[in-house]
Each structure stands twice: as C-alpha cells, then as structure tokens.
A and B are shown apart, each in its own frame.
Chain A
Amino acid sequence: MSRYIALFVQPLLALALAPALVGFIRWLKARLQSRRGAPVWQPYSEIRKLFGKEAVVSHTASWLFRATPFVVFGTGVIVASLAPIVIVPAGPLVVGDVFAAVYLLLLGTFFLALAGLDTGSPFGGMGASREMTVVALTEPTVALSIVALALNAGSTNFSQIVSRTLAEPSAALGPGHLLAFAALFIVTLAETGRLPVDNPSTHLELTMIHEAMILEYSGPYLALIEWAAALKLLVFLALAANLFMPWGIALSLSPVAVTVGVVSLVSKLGVLAVAIAVLETRVAKLRLFRVPELLSASFVLALLAVMSTFLVR
C-alpha cells in the first residue's frame, strides 16, 4: 500500500520543489551578474498570481489550444511518478520505462508545438518550428544514452538501472557512464530551453524558442505550462543525478530513507543548478544554426559512451 502512496507523493513533491529550482537558478544567476535578484520563492508567487487571473484565448485558436496545457502538465506529472527522483518507483503503477518517459515528454512538446501554430501568430509558428527541430535532433542522443545505461543494467526500467549502478559503483566512474552523463547534460540544456540553446529569460522575437511557442498563453493556462516546464527541468536534472550517481536515493519507504532521499536530491539538484547558473552566466546563446553542431557533439559523446561500454565489457 505504501508503494502506491509513494507513487502519488513523489510527483507532488517534485511539483512542490520545481518552482524553487527555477527560482534558485534565477537568483544565483542574478548574484553572479552582480544583481540583487528576485527571491528564490518568486516563481511560486508568479504561478499563484497566474492561477488567479482569467485566461485570454485568441479568436483564431481552437479547442486544441485549450487542451494542450493539460496534456503538457499531465505528461510531466506521469514522468515524475515513474522516474527515480526521491525513491525508486516500483510496483504495478509504474506505467513505463525510460523510453516511455522520453516519448511522454515528446507528446507534451508535440501538443505545445501544435498550440503554437494554432493561434496563427508568426511567433508561435516560429517557436514551434524551432522547438521541433531541436527536439528531433536531441532524440538520437537521448536514445543512445539510454542504451549506454541499459547495456550495464540489461533493462530500460529505471529501477533496474539504478539498482545496477548501486550494486556496482565502479561502473558509475567508468568511461561509458561519464560520457553518457555529458551527453545527457547537453540534451537536458536543449530540452529544457536553457542557454546556449535557448534563453529562458528572453522575449526578443528572433531568439525565442520555447517562449515564442507559448507567447499566446495567459492566466491559469500559462501557469500550468510554466509549472510543467519547471517540473521538466527538475525531472531531467534528477535523472542526470540519480541515473549516474544514485547514492542517497530512498530504496525503502522508511522515514529515514525518505528523508535521506529528499536531502540528497536537494543537494544534487543544488550542485547541478549551480552548474547551470554558472554556465548561463559564462556562455552566450548559440545562433540557431549552430545548435545542430552542439547536438551532434552530444550525439558523438553518447555514441562513444556506448562503444566504450562495449570495449570494457
């Protein structure tokens, strides 16, 4: 029974933490740029404010525009329920494996891109086109990183990948794991719309990707999409952390283990958030047509990861 409760609690916990993660990155970036910056809990206020407003929907938009926020939010929550974030989900309500998680996120992006086209605004179309280009080019890297992990575990189930790494700590420092981690980190930046692929704080027409796609959203719809985007960032970072360095994750549901799980999650996310904040302060956004070069570099890293796993075996 407690397994089922854990499956409900984990996504709720992830939802609760996600805005803080975004707020922390923003605050740290501001500090690094010698600004005071908004407090870490600012995103909570923003989401609360948006939920209280009315939604403005374009005359041109169809039902698809109004359905999309629910699809995006729903897929994000499902992925949070089956990924190893605080605990390693197991049991009959874990609806899928790594591939399912990747394709669920792709489903959300698919609908978001359609919604971008639905309002007939050129910005929406531009964002949709760019987002789908970037997402399509990240898919092979994601799949190959999965293969690199699954090669050791012999399975694409999250729980088996995690338990395999825990059982064999030397593999975590092997070349296969490290290269796959580097590849997945680049993909994380691309998929979650961070620099150098996309700038989350821009509203300049020519450079927007994700922001352009959701430009027409307002009120509770926007709140759902922003929240889902924060959740996606948290899930990706948690995956990068826990698939490669799972130590500290709760294997049982005892209060001690779960507390350790939460603390270790927060500290791992903190480290990765610092990395992102430093990176975003240091690098400029790439021109759109240079992005494929970055993504093909990540693909090569993932391919090397798989090949080195073959060699080591």
Chain B
Amino acid sequence: MPFGNLALLVMVVGYAAGACLSLLAPSDRAARWLTTIGAAIGCIGGVAAASSVLATRVSVDATLASLVSTAGGIVIHLDLLGAFFLLLVAALGLPAAVYGIAYTAEYEGRHSLRVFGLMFNGFLLGMSLVPCAGNVFTFLFTWELMAIASYFLVMTESEKRDTRQAGLWYAAMTHLGLVLLLPMFFLMAGGSEATAFADLRTTAAALTPGTRHIVFVLALLAFGSKAGIVPLHVWLPRAHPAAPSHVSALMSGVMIKLGIYGLVRVTFDLMSGGPAWWGGLLLAVGCVSALLGVLYALMEHDLKRLLAYHSVENIGIILIGLGAGSILHAQGLPALAAIGFAGALFHTVNHACFKGLLFLAAGSVMQQTHTANMEEMGGLIKRMPQTALCFLVGSVAIAALPPLNGFASEWLVFQSLLAGTSIQRPEIAVGFPIAVGMLALTSGLAAACFVKAFGISFLAMPRSNHAAQAREAHWSMRATMILLAGGCVTLGLAAPLAVRGLNRVIDSVPGLSAGEPLPRSPGLWLVGPGGSAQVSPLLIAVLLGAIALAVLVALHARGFQVRRADTWGCGRISQTARMEYTASAFAEPLRRVFTALYRPTEDLSVGVHPDSRYFVQSITYTSQVVPWFETAFYDPVTRGARGLAAQVRRLQAGFLHLYLLYVTVALVAALAVAWWFK
C-alpha cells in the first residue's frame, strides 16, 4: 500500500477508534484520554498524508465502489488543494485534542464525556475527509458528518438557554447551506449522471454562462453560510462562545475555512474560474464582512464572542484576496492574480494558527475566572504569565502587525489590491482603492480591538475575586498554546518559504494557476507585483531585537535603576480596580463615531428618594448594541417560519379519528398515483 493511502487509513482508523473507545470507556477520566489519543493518532495520520501529497505532488486515491453504490460509492481523491486543507485541519486538530485532556476535566460528572468523545472524533473525521472527497456523495456525507457532530459539540452545555438557542441557529444556518449545495451540484452535472468531481469538471465546462452564474451564486451562498460571510454569519457569534473552547478553536480555526475550501474547489477548480464580476462580488462581500465583523467585535465584551466576530473579519480578508486575484485572473493578469490567491490562502493558514491560539488562551482564562466577560478579568498577566504572553502573540498576529504572520498575509493582500489598480479598464480598477481603504480601516480597528481585548483582560488590577485568584493553566494546555504561538512567529518570519509552498497549491488548480511557473521569491523576501515591492519580516524582527538590545545595554552601562511606587492618582489613598478604564469605556469613542451603524439603545433610570427628587438613591444605565440588519433580515424569516409551523400544527388536533382519516386519504392518494403512472 502506498504511503499516502496508509497514512489516510491510519487517520480514519485513529478517529474511529477514538470515537468508539471513548464511547465505551469505563470512566470519565478514561474517556477523556481515549478521546485525545484517538484524535491525536488521527491527526498525525492526516498530517502525514497531507504532507506526502504536498511534497510529492502525487494525489492519493481510494475507492469503495460497493459502499452505497447507487450514489457512486465512497471516492477519496486527495490532491494538492485538498492536502493543503487537510494539513490545516490535522495540524490544528492535534493541539486542540491535547488541550482537551485537561480542559474537559471540569466536565467530569456534569456532562457525558463519552458522547463528547464520540462527537469530537466524528467532527475531526468529518473535517479531515471533506477535503479528501472525490465525488458528490462523499463530499455531502462528510460535510453533514462535520455539521452534525459539531452541532452536538456546541450543545455540550445544553442546560444553558443561550447554548440551546445557539444550537438552533447553527443547525438552521448550516442546513440552509446544505439545501443550497444540492441544487448547485445538480446544476453542475448538467443533466448527466456525473457525480465524481473529475466528471463534473467536464460537465461544468459545457454549461451555458447563465447556469454557471447560478452555480457560482449558489456556491457563494452555501459555502458562505459555513464560512460566515455577512449577512449569513449570524450563527458564528452565537455558536462559538457556546462550544467548549478547544471546539471553538477548531470551528473558528478550520471548520469555517472548509467553506473557503468548498468555494475554491467549486469556483476555481471544478468551474476553473469565471468572469470578472465573480471576483468583484467576492471582493465586495469580503470588504463588507471584514469591516462589519471588526466593528461588531469592538462592541463585544464577551471574549469569545469578540473572537467569533473577528472570524467574520478574517474570512472577509481571505475573500478580498480571492476576489482581487480572480478579477486579475479574469483580466488576463494571472501572475499578479497569484499574489492575491497566495495572500488569501496564506491568510487561511495564519488565521487558523492565531485564532486557534486565541480561543485556547481564552479558554484557559475562562477556566480560571469562570466568566467570559472581560469586565470581570484583569491582572492576569501576573497570575497567568505564559497564557498572557501567548494571547499577546495572537493579538499582535491578528492585528496584522509586523513581524508576525498576520502582517505577512495582509501585506500580500494589499499588494494584490494595488496590482488591481493597474487594470486598464477604469470601471473595474476603481473598485480596488476603495477596497484598500476598507481593508486599512479594518486592520486599524482590529488593532484597537485587540488593545481592548488584551489590555482589559490581562493588564492592570484584577476586576473580580475569581480573576485575583486565577492560577496558570495546566501544563499540557500551556504547551499547546506555546506551540501555536511558535507557529505564529515561525509563519511570520518564514513567510517567503510558506508562500513558495502555497504557489505549488495555486499552480495545481486550473482557476488559480498562472499557467507558467511563478517567479520564486528571493531568499527572505516577500515580493509584490512585478517583483517591485519587498518586505522581509525576518530582518524586521532581527533589527528590532538588535536595536532594543543595544539600547538596553547602553542604559544598563549607565547604571539604570528602577524604583517601584504606586500609580499616580491625584492624591487618592489606594488604587482599586474600579478606577480602571473598562472595556465599554475603551470602545466608547468608536461607538460614538459609528453610532449611525450601531444604533445603540440606551436606558437610564434614576431612583430618587420619595421625599425629594434631589436625593438620588440609585442609577441604572444599560446600553445595548444589537446588529440591526440581523433583526431586519432574520426577524421576518423566523416570524414567517413560526407562522407556518402554527398553521401546520392545526393538522395535529389530537383526535384519533382525524388521524385515521389522514391515513385513509394518504393511502387512497398513493393508490391513485400508482394507478395513474402504471
């Protein structure tokens, strides 16, 4: 058996064993360990399979034609594009699984860790097999496995009302996606019975332009609902906070990326790209998602909801890169387009790395402080120094600051937007500067948001007793976070190498490929369009370190001394946490600036003394920002669905005679139909 197939077999067996054995485990403790061991073996298998494909450029194939043969059987075809996403799943799955051992310890006795183990491994199995699928049936089956398993994982803490609501939203949105996927594949087959992806490639090429447009729009909506584009993102800020943190890390880090995978597979591989307006639509959706995602993240004081909104933002940035690339590709500039595609795919990797890290760090903090509310944290940098450092690395990376990985991929996306302005048709080129402005605003706001997230949660004095008594997380949890933080640094410093690897993937996909070998980036440099602009994150890091060290040495040579004293406080006696700036206060200026968008509701009630209104006894102030377009868009839909359900419910009146009548009518109708078509 070839190495690739063997590795894939190890992966499937590992996950399956993890799922079954943890279900049958004798104790909760054993279930925790079996869950992780199975998942870890599976992930290692996945990494091995994906790396072998990426290294040798030989795809892995396997077919089980006899299984569900009416639907075309189970077909596995792992090519370079699939291997790239499989590597992403498995590489983040491993730290998340190891993190889970200690993190799920507090669930012992409260929730079934056996079912959790089954679903966790099933979730990983589904996610790992989606990029391996080689026909429609396998794809839809694994896609559903991933969706259902993750639904149960979201519902882990189902005793909470919020969690049940989140589960409902998630189930509804994910199945909306599925409902759109079926007609998409049906249209692509173009009347033939083709279900294998290799056949769909030929049938899709023969479609009329109109049908291709419909297929593209369906793909964007279906995969967009999984990826979390605005306005289909509503489930993200609900489901991510409800799930256990390592599951959130996987959902946000890789599951939503499989939406990107589906989009790339269908649009750029099976249909090998389309006209410029496809790219324009991707670019516009990307800009709106990025900007709205970060704007709503700024208003969140729940750490995990904040991170969830940032996933919407980052999916937007990925789509900006894809959109810019595909416009350039459609305009006959494939070499410039490759920069946009590389930026998009690189940001996909980077986001998986730093968002996984941030969710794991948020989980450690929540385990210690027993809250996700940032206003009740604070001072954790002294109590949890390693977790704090990891969160800081993640924050710098997600804010796209040099020299970490977020900067490298956003730089590439910026360069591709700049390349777009060189398109000779002004009506197309004019969109690019606007996208530049929106992306720049997004990254500026992201920096502000992570100053808030890190500064309020980790710095200054603890704002609650739980925060004051926080201890550093279990060593295994810290180890996984340090691993991912190291990943953020390495991907940043070695960005040129990573981009070289990504160019292999880009070359293998018809709609992305330049058709000619891309220019190799020289050494340590990331290169912009036409080899003109250059940046080297590694040299930036080295210079920064050297300067800081030189200054430090110079200071100490002069006899530098530090004295500790209290924070200056205008003569007050002692400093308390209530004097600190809060997260709401921090975000207040931006809330005022964007008040037309936020439309905050404010409620101020002042309780006065019965005798005189000049003696105020209590003041209550509440303010809420509810995304208005969500309510405007989804409220009519949910109201309609409820109304319909109420109508349908009339059928179920509770009389046995009525039900017997239904049965009779149904039988007669069935017989009539059978007679008619005889």
Contacts and interface: CB of A to CB of B under 8 A. Distances in A.
Interface string B451-462: 110111001110
Contact of B581 (A128, A135, A313): A128
B502 interface: no
A119 B111 CA distance: 41
Contact of B460 (A57, A81, A120, A126): A120
Contacts of B532: 154-157, 160
A54 B556 CA distance: 11
Interface string A31-72: 000000000000000000001101111111111101000110
Given A136-B447, A310-B430, A120 B575 contact: yes
B580 A56 contact: no
Contact of A288 (B418, B455, B536, B589): B589
Interface in B431-470: 433-434, 436-441, 443-445, 447-448, 450-452, 454-456, 459-461
B523 to A, nearest CB: 9
A106 interface: yes
A157 to B, nearest CB: 5
Nearest to A215: B568
Given A120-B567, A137-B444, A147-B421, A104 B402 contact: yes
Nearest to A289: B592
A52 B561 CA distance: 10
Interface stretch (B192-200, B224-232, B547-555, B629-637): B547-555
B interface: dominant SS = helix
Interface in A121-180: 121-122, 124-126, 128-130, 132-133, 135-140, 142-144, 147, 150-151, 154-157, 160
A94 B524 CA distance: 12
B396 A110 contact: yes
Contacts of A292: 593
Contacts of A106: 399, 401, 444, 447
Given A51-B558, A110-B396, A140 B441 contact: yes
A103 B455 contact: no
Interface string A76-104: 01100100000000000111110110011
A interface: dominant SS = helix
Contact of A78 (B438, B448, B540, B558): B540
Interface stretch (A17-25, A265-273, A278-286, A299-307): A299-307
A118 B411 contact: no
B437 A156 contact: no
A54 B561 contact: yes
Interface residues of B, number: 80
Contacts of B450: 110
A262 B661 CA distance: 98
Given A71-B544, A136-B445, A154-B530, A144 B461 contact: no
A241 interface: no
A117 B586 CA distance: 10
A268 B392 CA distance: 40
Contacts of B399: 106, 110
Interface in B482-540: 528, 530, 532-536, 539-540
A60 B575 contact: yes
Contact of B540 (A96, A121, A130, A288): A96
B122 to A, nearest CB: 40
B454 A139 contact: no
B407 interface: yes
A10 interface: no
B562 interface: yes
Nearest to B579: A122
Contact of A154 (B422, B438, B560): B422
B15 interface: no
Contacts of B579: 120-122
A121 B547 contact: no
Given A54-B561, A70-B548, A129-B581, A143 B426 contact: no
A62 B433 CA distance: 41
Interface string B568-601: 1100000101011100011111101100000000
Nearest to A223: B555
A113 B415 CA distance: 28
Contact of B547 (A56, A73, A216): A73
B650 interface: no
Given A59-B567, A60-B461, A113 B547 contact: no
B324 interface: no
B536 A114 contact: no
B583 to A, nearest CB: 10
Contacts of A215: 568
Contacts of B234: none
A274 B426 CA distance: 40
A11 to B, nearest CB: 9
Nearest to A307: B430
A95 B407 CA distance: 14
A299 B544 contact: no
A231 to B, nearest CB: 12
Contacts of A133: 448, 589-590, 593
B415 A156 contact: yes
Contacts of A151: 421
A260 interface: no
Contact of A97 (B430, B433, B535): B535
A156 B533 contact: yes
A75 interface: yes
A300 B452 CA distance: 28
Contacts of B651: none
Contacts of A107: 396, 401-402
B547 A139 contact: no
Nearest to A104: B402
B581 A74 contact: no
Nearest to B541: A95
A263 to B, nearest CB: 28
14 contacts: A57-B563, A59-B565, A59-B567, A78-B544, A81-B543, A107-B396, A135-B447, A136-B441, A139-B443, A140-B436, A147-B436, A157-B534, A299-B437, A310-B426
Given A120-B567, A157-B533, 8 more contacts: A62-B382, A106-B399, A126-B585, A129-B452, A130-B589, A132-B452, A303-B434, A307-B430
Interface of A: 51-52, 54-64, 66, 70-71, 73-75, 77-78, 81, 93-97, 99-100, 103-104, 106-107, 109-110, 113-114, 116-122, 124-126, 128-130, 132-133, 135-140, 142-144, 147, 150-151, 154-157, 160, 215-216, 220, 224, 288-289, 292, 299, 302-303, 306-307, 310, 313
Interface of B: 381-382, 392, 396, 399-402, 407, 411, 414-415, 418, 421-422, 426, 429-430, 433-434, 436-441, 443-445, 447-448, 450-452, 454-456, 459-461, 528, 530, 532-536, 539-540, 543-544, 547-548, 551-552, 555, 558, 560-569, 575, 577, 579-581, 585-590, 592-593
